[in-house]
Amino acid sequence: MSASSIRNMEIAVIGDLELVSALRLAGLRKTYAIQGERHAADDIRKALSECMSDPGVGVVVMLEEYAEMAGDVVSQYRQGKNVLPVIVEVPSKRGTRHPDVIAYYKQFSREYLGFDIEL
Sequential DSSP letters for 23-62: HHHTT--EEEE---STTHHHHHHHHHHHHHH-TTEEEEEE
Closest-CA residue to 84 (of 105, 57, 108) = 57
pLDDT the model gives residue 56? 95
User: pLDDT tens for residues 42-88?
Assistant: 999 999 999 999 999 999 999 999 999 998 888 888 787 777 898 98
Query: Average pLDDT, stretch 101-110?
Result: 68
pLDDT the model gives residue 23? 95
Tell me what the pLDDT averaged over the chain comes to. 84
Cα 112 to the center of its chain, rounded Å = 13
Quick check: 119 pLDDT over 60?
no
Phi then psi dihedrals of residue 80, to 5 deg? -75, -175
Q: 3-state DSSP call for residue 106?
A: helix
Domains of the chain: 3-91 (3.40.50.10580)
